[in-house]
A and B are shown apart, each in its own frame.
Chain A
Amino acid sequence: MHEEETGVMAKMSFEDAATRYGAEPGGGAPTKVKITFVDSQGQARSVEGEVGSTVMETARRNDIPEIAAECGGACACATCHVYVDEKWAEKTGKASQMEEDMLDFAFDVKPNSRLCCQITVRPELDGLVLTTPAQQG
């Protein structure tokens, strides 16, 4: 809780600064990418993710359902479990040892399971598609 709240605050002020000083469109790598969350009922929600933040933070800021993120991004609770769309598995990469250990606490774990607090938004993830499980906690 504690870490999540401060994290969100820091992110908001960063965003304000970026807007104020004007990120030039088309200049350099994109700072925002599109991420689509498909819920367990099949409903898709596309949101903008900011490069450098995590996919979990992106989900929470956009009120994506089925992402609990109880621990606030400490890789300590396995309640931001997602399934990475096959086409994106290579780009998102493999779970670290710590993340694999924590995935033991998630339900219905599949080979494409990840904890989305451990996926950092990068320009090459523009278009990323993830599915959320029906039960996190």
Chain B
Amino acid sequence: MNQLKEAAIETDVVIVGAGPAGLFSVFELGLLDIKAHVIDILPRAGGQCSELYPEKPIYDIPGLPVCTGQELTDNLLKQIEPFHPTFHFNEMVETLVSLGTAEKPEFRLSTDAGKIFHAKVVFIAAGGGSFQPKKPPIPKIESYEGKSVFYAVRRMEDFRNKNVVIVGGGDSALDWTLNLQPVAKRITLVHRRDQFRAAPHSVSAMQELMAAGKIDFRLGQITAVEGEDGELAGAILKGNDGVEEKLACERLMPFFGLTMKLGPVADWGLQLNENLIPVDTEKFETSHPGIFAVGDINSYPGKLKLILSGFHEVALAAQKAHRYVYPDKKLLFQYTTSSTNLQKKLGVS
């Protein structure tokens, strides 16, 4: 971390976000020989398409009468294969610092996983922002976060010999109940109902542990926490019968899914307008030369948050990006149907 320059990944472009706009950016930039690294906080590509509506049909992609969010994602991934983008999943870009000039931009980006990137241009395709864990409305919960309240497990050792309360009924809640059970002192699973939407084998494994007396299960919701200096001492469980009870615990893990927050983008010194990034409609460039914003996260007169608009935007932004990455090369406009040069890049000639 101290030797930033040495550790940095050098690339032409960093694309922030692997949703449809980010993925198609790889394609349009790739046709212009611009190499991409793509960073996304989610564990997979697709953004909202795969996170919010993987099975829902989309009817307004030109040339595709109907496809699901997952099918669109899979097809985009196939389409960009020839350009070999490097993906960095489960990572969030935290800082974006300008090192260059308006004529010759250069940027340094760092992620929450400690990776450093040097890029000539940046495409922000971050949609509605980053998907982050939903935080339950428990008073003062933020003062415990990262110390004794966790929304993800980074190190199992944090839970060794601790009394752990896990809240939720989905895969995350059950997976961590099963994985932490051998490590923790005692696990109490709290859920608002006795049905679980997690994978059936996880549910039966959890029920076996419960039947064997190895974990506790309580119906209800956590309404308050107690403790000092970020260290939990207990959580208040409000049962479905309205009766409150204190559960002694040193760790709490609430699993309420994900929500979209603008996140660190707000701190990158870009002009913002109601949590959107204003761009021009010729190059889709932000207030900072070399930083482009495409897809749902940008704003301009007449903007429609449609996937097809994002596709159009990245094609135009790529043209300007080429001028930054290859200042001495003249860009010749070509069609994939007839250009042997482009077909070679696509691996089809």
- A residues sitting closer than 8 Å to B (CB atoms) are 1-3, 5-6, 70-71, 74, 76-79, 100-101, 103-109, 134-135, 137
A3 is contacted by which of B53, B127, B136 (Cβ under 8 Å)? B53
| Contacts between the two chains (Cβ within 8 Å), count | 69
B85 within 8 A of A: no
* Known contacts A104-B168, A104-B169, A108-B221; A71 and B137 CB within 8 A of each other: no
B52 and A76 form a contact (CB under 8 A) = yes
Top 6 nearest A-B pairs (CB, nearest first) are: A105-B257, A137-B259, A101-B197, A135-B137, A74-B53, A76-B52
Interface centre among A103, A104, A137 (most CB of B within 10 A): A104
Using a Cβ–Cβ cut-off of 8 Å, how many residues does chain B contribute to the interface with A?
29
B53 and A71 form a contact (CB under 8 A) = yes
Of residues 49 to 106 in B, which have CB atoms within 8 Å of A's CB atoms? 52-53, 56, 58, 60
Interface centre among B52, B58, B136, B170 (most CB of A within 10 A): B52
- B residues sitting closer than 8 Å to A (CB atoms) are 48, 52-53, 56, 58, 60, 127-128, 134, 136-137, 168-170, 191-193, 195, 197, 221, 256-257, 259-260, 296, 304-307
A78 to chain B, nearest CB (A): 7
Given A76-B52, A104-B168, 20 other A-B residues pairs in contact with their CB atoms under 8 A = A1-B305, A2-B306, A2-B307, A5-B304, A5-B305, A70-B52, A74-B53, A77-B257, A78-B257, A100-B193, A100-B195, A104-B169, A104-B193, A104-B197, A104-B257, A105-B256, A106-B256, A109-B192, A109-B221, A137-B260
Judged by DSSP, the binding face of B is loop
B256 and A3 form a contact (CB under 8 A) = no
Q: Which residue of A lies closest to B54 (CB)?
A: A76
Chain B residues whose C-beta falls within 8 Å of the C-beta of A100 in the assembled complex: 193, 195
